[in-house]
């Protein structure tokens, strides 16, 4: 059987970018920290856009450790949600507008999150990428890395566990 | 040690991110600290329920732990987080202030060990707990 003709690139990109934008911009706290996401295919990179209000030590100066933790956690949750919802976004089952408003679309909940602070966060943009070590039906384990100018020199890394949203039909 | 307590309070309240979160240091001294974070719609993590994002709770816990270290009688000066683990027990009730309390329960020349708890109005059921290791910086 011949494979179906692929959709035009603009259609695919528009659908994916609209869904990602809805996922990220719908959350006030992500806007408060001014975190955005770069997407290449299904790969996401979190970007913490630097602002003075992110400073935790005004003498060095350095980014607040709590901001670093939050940035890594946001990157983990968005990456996990993205991977979890991606098939339904691709199939057209989930529309960008539904992502934040539809109560049936649920997100992973953080169980625990551990951050290693490797060096101080400089007062400039930071980047983070999350790797899903395991995504089970109930629990997921995620590792996150964050860097600034040099990807080889991480300034923080983290691991966290998440409770995956349960489908209403999957009870018992 | 009154001077160091005053200094720690000024230091915490001069932190740009602590101001952005609206943090207030309500108690400090002898290796213990308490910080409050009022409910703020900018910090919402789930717009459908109005629940505060865990990241904001983490930032408050981290600040509180740092303050507890600096207030310890054996700490000569500043501190930085080496590692911090946060456990999230439940969503904070929307509209309520979050209070974090940290204790620096052990300190060596180089490392301070800290535990902290975050609660909302229901003080008996923690929203989150934290435990971490912090550096001990010289003067």
The CATH number covering residue A13 comes to 3.10.129.10
Q: Which domain range does residue A166 map to?
A: 9-170
Query: Which of the two residues, A116 and B2, has the higher pLDDT score?
Result: A116
Q: Is B68 on the interface with A (CB under 8 A)?
A: no
Does residue A58 lie within any of the structural domains? yes
For residue A46, the Cα-to-chain-centroid distance in whole angstroms is 6
pLDDT at A169: 55
CATH of the domain at B88: 3.10.129.10
pLDDT at B4: 64
CB contact under 8 A, A64 and B62: yes
Task: Residue A30: list chain B partners with CB under 8 A.
Answer: 53
Q: Which of A59, A71, A60 is nearest to A147 (CA)?
A: A71
Residue A149 has, within 13 A of its CA and on its CB side, a CA count of 5
Size of interface A-B (CB pairs under 8 A): 125
* CA–CA min distance B67, chain A (Å): 12
Does residue A160 lie within any of the structural domains? yes
- The CA distance from A139 to B105, in Å, is 32
Does residue A2 lie within any of the structural domains? no
Q: Domain total for chain B?
A: 1
Q: Is B2 on the interface with A (CB under 8 A)?
A: no
| Average pLDDT value for chain B | 92
- Token duo for residue A120: 């101080």
pLDDT at A87: 85
Reported as a pLDDT band with limits 50, 70 and 90, residue B3 is low
Buried b (16+ CB within 10 A) or exposed e, A86-100: eeebeeeebebebbb
pLDDT at A172: 42
Q: Which domain range does residue B126 map to?
A: 2-135
- The CA distance from A104 to A40, in Å, is 27
Query: Which of the two residues, B67 and B138, has the higher pLDDT score?
Result: B67
Q: Domain total for chain A?
A: 1
Its pTM stands at 0.93
Q: Is B139 on the interface with A (CB under 8 A)?
A: no
Over chain A (172 residues), what is each successive 10-residue block's mean pLDDT? Answer: 80 87 92 95 93 92 96 96 88 81 84 97 97 95 97 97 80 44
Which tens digits make up the pLDDT trace of B43-64?
999 998 999 999 999 999 999 9
ipTM (interface predicted TM): 0.92
């Amino acid at each position: 059987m011949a494979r179906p003709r692929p959709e035009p690139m603009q259609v695919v990109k528009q659908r994916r970018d609209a869904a990602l934008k809805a996922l990220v911009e719908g959350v006030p706290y992500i806007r408060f920290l001014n975190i955005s996401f770069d997407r290449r295919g299904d790969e996401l990179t979190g970007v913490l856009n630097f602002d003075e209000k992110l400073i935790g030590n005004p003498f060095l100066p350095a980014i607040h450790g709590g901001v670093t933790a939050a940035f890594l956690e946001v990157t983990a949750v968005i990456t996990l949600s993205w991977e979890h919802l991606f098939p339904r976004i691709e199939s057209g089952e989930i529309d960008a507008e539904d992502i934040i408003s539809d109560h049936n679309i649920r997100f992973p909940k953080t169980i625990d999150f551990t951050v290693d602070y490797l060096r101080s966060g400089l007062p400039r943009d930071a980047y983070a990428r999350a790797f899903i070590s395991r995504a089970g039906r109930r629990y997921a384990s995620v590792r996150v890395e964050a860097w600034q100018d040099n990807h080889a020199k991480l300034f923080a890394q983290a691991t966290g566990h998440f409770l995956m949203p349960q489908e209403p039909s999957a009870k018992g | 040690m009154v001077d160091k307590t005053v200094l720690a309070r000024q230091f915490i309240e001069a932190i740009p991110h602590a101001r952005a979160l609206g943090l207030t240091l309500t108690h400090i001294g002898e290796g213990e600290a308490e910080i409050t974070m009022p409910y703020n719609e900018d910090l919402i993590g789930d717009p459908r329920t109005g629940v505060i994002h865990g990241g904001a709770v983490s930032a408050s816990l981290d600040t509180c732990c740092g303050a507890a270290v600096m207030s310890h009688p054996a700490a000569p000066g500043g501190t930085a987080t080496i590692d911090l683990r946060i456990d999230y027990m439940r969503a904070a009730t929307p509209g309520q202030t979050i209070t974090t309390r940290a204790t620096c329960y052990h300190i060596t020349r180089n490392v301070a060990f800290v535990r902290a708890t975050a609660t909302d109005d229901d003080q008996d059921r923690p929203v989150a707990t934290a435990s971490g290791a912090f550096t001990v910086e010289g003067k």
